[in-house]
Amino acid sequence: MRLSGFILLLALVLQAGAKDGAAIYKEHCASCHGDKGQGVADEYDEALVGKKSIASLTKYIHKSMPEDDEDAVINDDARAVSEYMFHAFYSPEAQAKLKPVRKDLLRRTQHQHRRALADLVASFRGTNHLGDQNGLHARYFNKEKMNNQKGKLAERTDTWIGFDLKSDHKIKNLNPKAFSINWSGSIMPPETGTYGFRISTPNGARLWLNDIDNKTDPLIDAWVSSNNKMRQVEESTFLLGGHSISIYLDYVSYKENVSSIQFEWKPPHGTWQPIPQRYLSPKRSHLLAIPTTPFPADDASMGYERGSSISKAWREAVTNSAIEITNHVFEDIDRLSRSKPTDKDRHQKLRDFCATIAERAFARPLTAEQRKLYVDAVFEQSKDDTDSALKRSLLLTFTSPYFLYPDLNLNSEGKPDQFTLATRIALTLWDSIPDRTLLDAAHKGHLANENQINQRIDRMLEDPRSKEKLHRFFFTWLNLTEKDDLSKDLETFPGFDENIIADLRTSLTLFIEQVIWSEKSDYRQLFLSGELPVNQRLARFYGTEAPKWGFANVPSNKHRAGLFTHPYILSAFSYHKQTSPIHRGVYLSRNVLGRFLKPPPNAIEFKDADFKPNLTMREKVTEITKDSSCMSCHSIINPIGFGLENYDAVGRFRTHEKKKPINASSDYPTPDDKTIRINGAPDLAKIAVESPGAHRAFIKHLFHHLVQQSTNSYGFGTMDKLHEDFAKNNFNIRHLVKTIARTNAIN
């Protein structure tokens, strides 16, 4: 009893002598910063919110605050007021408690809307099983009179789609004066956008895309040759990334002196090139309903796209896309509904079809009210006009809030049932609706526990739609989605043309895919890998070992550090004639290393003409950011940008600039108020690999991209749990995606 009494007395004494941080803040800080750090007009109107640690806040207050009497709050007082501020309103944790974040009711984004419509119709056509073989199925024939396929000479898989009679085509008994070829299979577009297709031939050729029986007009019709003269014919079309489409290319040469054909495409952000083998399959895909209606841009004010804004343009786009897909369904209704116009029960079959399509659109069984509103009432009103009833029902479904707002389907208690789980998983991984396999699992109650959910996620993660969404994430995270102009001054960088830029984008894509889909899927390899995928053109430009064909990994020099030194990224964050340490430093600080940077107090335009011509870029940046108001952020930005100065504006390693040795070394202040030395890209890579702030930045950006909600809306400790799980599983990216998908589904 004596000991316990002494401990209690000691605690009371210590408490009585403890500094009252709240009182200190009220006396010395509140008049300028507000009672809860919200800011005060005409004093300091910025809110006291940030990510500094208590130790860092203490050090800053001890040294600099309050401004009119810097010795008023020092030592223990500085520590006490820092602790109070940190827990009361300064830290993200405190802000989360003061202003709880709730999930927003979101509509589908334009990506989700297009994909959901396409997948909804595709669910009635079956699954495409393309297999692992790459290339197109080719058949070679001799021609007799008007018969293009008189005698089949050969049948094989061609990895390069083209032909030249002068080359060794290895087709026995080919009649050089009368032959034909057709190539068929599928194309897997790697990203969503407009693709150009081009045929170069002096003979006859036709191209069908997304047509299973070649009964529509071809996309490219060059069937009638023009006196055996070489000509190029090109057309473009909109494709959905991660959705395969069928292709059929027909070619004929009859009594002509020159026989050749070259087939190319121009993908988004790319240049004309033969379609890479990895995007081709010899198996034909089902017809795909591709909504081509343009949508307004989605809201990105939170730093990531989400379906929060409602506008007249969006409503019009929803209506027009509904009309577009309704017409597509109507034109193929016999196959989709498994019925014929002569069927006696045609009316009932189409009625049931509309009910099924509504169930799949809403991703759950229809209620009695929904069945009546979207199907029964429509067909009862149009008993004598089944076609009109069909169209009206489809339009109602495609514009229904239950389709546009997936989370409207929560049950009355607000808890996710298994159909809601299926919907959220599909949105997270595919930006789409659940497929029939996932809906079937929900119907059978097979999404009842974590193991069952994980099994479904594992299957879906291997789907091309998941791969397309992750591809889009990395280009968003790296702030490259708007970087369309990477061109440089050709006098300064001869040879850095549009082909090099397109090859660099391919190189970056391959590098990222190799890391994600490797066995370990190790986030750290994004920065530690010393390999660079190059083709012969890139190898010549960057002076590396050249592969025999296509793209291959080659060991790069010891100075390379994964994403930090990939030439595409370094080029994207450079000027036309020189590097930009500020652009490189800002993007890496915020997106990759997770540092908090305030907006600049005064936006200063960099004008190279304002500096002496013999100054290096580091000297120029040092001069322009030397003001103390700039250095509050540039003390973080500059060391990172300077650490990459060994790489010029096109990402080539260099040791000198303006005949001066490159200085890539700087002191870098860490988030925990330490100072470390950065001596180049490998040191930056080490920070990204070891820094919890960098890990959390990656998790946050990935979560936002996949879920389109704030992590705090899933509970204040969600980020900590995700970070702990990420580290525990050796920073496995695919495992992190699975964890995020599961977290979104069950919460």
The SS3 assignment for 356 reads helix
Q: Decide if 81 contacts 29 (C-beta within 8 A).
A: yes
The predicted structure's pLDDT at residue 147: 64
Which residue do the tokens 């010393």 mark?
530
Q: CA 747 to CA 125: how far, in whole Å?
A: 33
Give the tens place of pLDDT for each residue, 685-728. 999 999 999 999 999 999 999 999 988 888 878 999 999 999 99
Q: CA 515 to CA 521: how far, in whole Å?
A: 5
The predicted structure's pLDDT at residue 201: 97
The closest of 362, 325, 466, 327 to 108, measured between CA atoms, is 362
Quick one: what percent of the chain has pLDDT higher than 70? 95
> Which range among 139-153, 238-252, 254-268, 632-646 shows the weakest confidence by mean pLDDT?
139-153
Q: Decide if 698 contacts 477 (C-beta within 8 A).
A: yes
Q: What is the DSSP string of 687-734?
A: HHHH-HHHHHHHHHHHHHHHH-S-GGGG-TTHHHHHHHHHHHTTTBHH
Which residue do the tokens 């097979």 mark?
446
Work out the pLDDT band at 106, boundaries 50, 70, 90. very high
For 11, 120, 212, 280, the CA distances from 161, given in Å and listed in that order, are: 82, 32, 19, 10
> Which range among 79-88, 110-119, 372-381 shows the weakest confidence by mean pLDDT?
79-88
Looking at per-residue confidence, does 75 or 199 come out higher?
Answer: 199
Segment 196-222 shows an average pLDDT of 94
The predicted structure's pLDDT at residue 152: 87
Q: Dig out the tokens for 380 from the structure.
A: 């009862």
Q: CA 349 to CA 371: how far, in whole Å?
A: 15
Q: CA 225 to CA 507: how far, in whole Å?
A: 38
Residues 6+ apart with CB under 8 A from 176: 165, 259
Looking at per-residue confidence, does 673 or 526 come out higher?
Answer: 526
Give the tens place of pLDDT for each residue, 254-268. 999 999 999 999 999
Quick one: what percent of the chain has pLDDT higher than 90? 71
Q: Decide if 219 contacts 234 (C-beta within 8 A).
A: no
Looking at per-residue confidence, does 97 or 35 come out higher?
Answer: 35
Q: CA 449 to CA 44: how far, in whole Å?
A: 51
Segment 100-122 shows an average pLDDT of 93
The predicted structure's pLDDT at residue 168: 83
Q: What letter would DSSP give residue 91?
A: S
Phi, psi angles (nearest 5°) of residue 366: -75, 140
The predicted structure's pLDDT at residue 232: 96
Segment 273-298 shows an average pLDDT of 96
For 212, 393, 603, 633, 707, the CA distances from 599, given in Å and listed in that order, are: 54, 51, 9, 9, 27
The predicted structure's pLDDT at residue 557: 66
Looking at per-residue confidence, does 91 or 238 come out higher?
Answer: 238
Looking at per-residue confidence, does 76 or 361 come out higher?
Answer: 361
Looking at per-residue confidence, does 625 or 19 come out higher?
Answer: 625
The closest of 365, 373, 449, 448 to 411, measured between CA atoms, is 365
Work out the pLDDT band at 1, boundaries 50, 70, 90. very low
Q: Decide if 98 contacts 89 (C-beta within 8 A).
A: yes
Segment 582-602 shows an average pLDDT of 87
The H or E element that residue 433 is part of is none
Segment 506-516 shows an average pLDDT of 97
The predicted structure's pLDDT at residue 531: 87
- Max CA pair span of the chain: 115
Q: CA 158 to CA 449: how far, in whole Å?
A: 46
Work out the pLDDT band at 413, boundaries 50, 70, 90. low
For 53, 470, 600, 626, the CA distances from 629, given in Å and listed in that order, are: 21, 38, 8, 8
> HSE-up of 624 (CA within 13 Å, CB side)?
23
Give the tens place of pLDDT for each residue, 618-631. 999 999 888 877 88
The predicted structure's pLDDT at residue 8: 44
Q: Decide if 478 contacts 591 (C-beta within 8 A).
A: yes
Q: What is the mean pLDDT of the chain?
A: 90
Is residue 238's pLDDT more than 60?
yes
Q: What domains can be seen in the chain, in order of their start residue?
A: 2-98 (1.10.760.10), 136-281 (2.60.120.1560), 498-590+597-686 (no CATH)
The H or E element that residue 108 is part of is none
Segment 181-198 shows an average pLDDT of 97
Q: Dig out the tokens for 302 from the structure.
A: 């939170």
The predicted structure's pLDDT at residue 268: 94
The predicted structure's pLDDT at residue 512: 97
Q: What is the DSSP string of 469-510?
A: HHHHHHHHHTT-TT-------TTTSTT--HHHHHHHHHHHHH
CA end-to-end span of the chain: 48
In terms of DSSP bridges, do strands 193-201 and 531-534 run parallel, antiparallel, or are they unpaired?
A: unpaired
